[in-house]
Amino acid sequence: MMVDIEVDDLELCRVYEIRCDGILGQPTNASLLHGVGWYTRNANPE
């Protein structure tokens, strides 16, 4: 299962903290175990 996020004004050499605390599993409505990640964006896909 994948979710795409579009972000305006993307800048490089930044850390993006993405928190998904409210996202629930299907069909059990399970909570995420942690639901957070920190992505280091140095380059954009070509």
Partner 1 sequence: MVMLLTLSLLVAPQEPASPGPVTKQPKPDEATYVEIVDVALPEHVVLEVGGFVEFEGAMYVATRRGEVWRIEDASGKQPKATLWAEGLMEPLGLIAKDGWLYCSQRGELSRMRDKSGDGRMDDLETFAAGWPISGNYHEYCFGPSIAGDGSFWLTLNKPFGGEPFGRAPWRGWAIRIPADGGSFEPVCAGLRSPCGIGTAPDGVVWFTDNQGEWCANSKFTPMEVGDFHGHPWGIDSCKLPESKVEYPGEVPSGLRMAEAAKTIPNFTLPAVWIPYDKCGRSPGGFVWDTAGNFPPFEGQVFCGDQYSSEVFRMSLERVAGRWQGACYPFRRGLKSGITRVMWGKQGTLWCGLTNRGWGSLGGSEHGLQRLVWRGVTPFELREITATKKGFRLAFTQPVNAASILPPGFAVKSWTYDHHKAYGCPPATPARTPPRRRRSRPGA
Cβ 15 vs Cβ 40: under 8 Å:
yes
Q: How far is the CB of 42 from partner 1 (least distance, A)?
A: 5
In angstroms, rounded to a whole number, what is the distance separating the alpha carbons of residues 33 and 35?
6
| Residue 29 Cβ vs partner 1, minimum distance, rounded to whole Å | 6
CA neighbor of 42 nearest in space, from 19, 9, 11, 4: 11
Each residue 13-42 as x (binds partner 1 by CB under 8 A) or -, in order, gives xxxxxxxxxxxxxxxxxxxxxxxxxxxxxx
Binding-residue total with partner 1 (CB under 8 A)? 46
Contact footprint for partner 1 (CB under 8 A): 1-46
